[in-house]
Structure 1
């Protein structure tokens, strides 16, 4: 298991290629003589593919499966419970970290994984966290040092929260603007008209953004607007936008008190990675383990 952090989201991954390969070569073992390719009359069989996959991925796959089994056994022994709600919360955060359902689904497909595979990984990850957290201590001194060393990352620039409807031509944007002026619902019109499909299916929501993150014309318009205001059409290289500002946040200097929770989370994640290696080595000594790759 590998612990990675993206925003507030913890991403746990066994190497996806290893998982996909493992599933494939075990699934094909019964038809090993079947030809899967041919080069100049020379056949390549599933048996050859299996041998190649085992040689390339076998040791890593076996180590990953052994580690997961140890986690499951220890979780049962320590009566560690992971609820469906906890799994769903992490799954939702993971989808968000990928930039939405589309990108997340594409990532799963490219790795040969299903959502059920992901949920199993999430459960093992959460079991591991619950097993390791009691072994980890984070001191006030560590928090203060981390803040001093990373102070610039905790400062917040001015932010705007906005939604938009993006269309390709002036005629279409004027049509949308007319419907809004007549009392049309912004979110519903975004779903119907916006060519930005990622935000469009969420009613045009873009979330918060700071300077330098959007096209210059879009950014200038959004930062000049008041909360609740809807813009006239704004042209960028992407097309024509109608922007609705839904919230604003003022710039804020870094503050230790306000940053403590985030720092604890970051330190916890760092220590989990280190502690996991130590804990797993200890547990491997306690179990009778057979691994043909060793």
Structure 2
């Protein structure tokens, strides 16, 4: 069973907090709301913003760019995630955690509800569809993997047809991981990303999942 991919979801939680704070230009803010008072010390909204930007900002902005480009590229290639595909993925997640109650507890721990989860999952699944189209797994690759690794699959080795789909899934994950960074950089060039804050403009190192 495919392990649940949280590479973008985890960052999305941080993005939510950043969005609440709002982006501001230094010197333009007339007020700096106090968020917490700890004894005789006040922690303000912009202090928190500055800390989040310095700690997570570069990763966040690159993830936001990635999500935007994935959406635009999918639209250009007419690729979308169907409701049936999404329902199947959600059902698989619920099976992994064991129960509906455990699933809801997991979502709560992530700061999500199911609607928000589906939105985030849509990005991840769309990304995978785009990568699978760009870097497809061939029948020859699947057969070669089986021949080279069947001795490690058990004794006696399982029949090829019984493990074909599992091998294809393993190779697809490998293709995505190996090619994601270069692929994203290519579509970033194609869609002409312009960086207005030089501190964020550096070689992209997104999580491949």
Could you tell me which residue of structure 2 aligns to residue 65 of structure 1? 64
Q: Which residue of 2 aligns with 1:21?
A: 14
- 1:281 equivalent to 2:182? Answer no
Give the aligned partner of residue 33 of structure 1.
32
Residues 81/154 of structure 1: CA separation in 2 closer, same or farther (3 Å cut): farther
Larger radius of gyration: 1
Q: Distance in 2 between matches of 1:137 and 1:78?
A: 15
User: Is 2:149 aligned against 1:149?
Assistant: yes
Could you tell me which residue of structure 2 aligns to residue 85 of structure 1? 84
CA contact (8 A) 1:108 1:115 kept: yes
**Structure 2: stretches of 5+ with no match in the other structure:** 202-209
Q: Return the offset for 1:124.
A: 1.6
**1:271 shift after superposition:** 0.7
What SS does structure 2 have at the residue aligned with 1:13?
Answer: coil
Aligned to 1:257: 161
Gaps of 5+ in 1: 1-6, 156-251
TM-score w.r.t. length of structure 1:
0.57
Figure out how many residues of one structure are paired with residues of the other and give that number: 191
Which has the bigger relative contact order, CA under 8 A and spacing at least 6? 2
More strand by share: 1
Give the 5 Å matches for 1:96-245. Answer: 96-140=95-139, 142-147=141-146, 148-149=148-149, 151-153=151-153
**What is the TM-score with the length of structure 2 in the denominator?**
0.78
- Deviation, 1:140, is 4.8
CA contact (8 A) 2:79 2:126 kept: yes
Distance 1:140 1:86, change over 3 A: closer
Change (3 A) 1:119 1:34: same
CA RMSD of aligned residues (A): 2.6
Q: 1:70: Cα distance to partner?
A: 0.6
User: How big is the shift at 1:109?
Assistant: 1.9
2: CA distance, partners of 1:20 / 1:273: 22
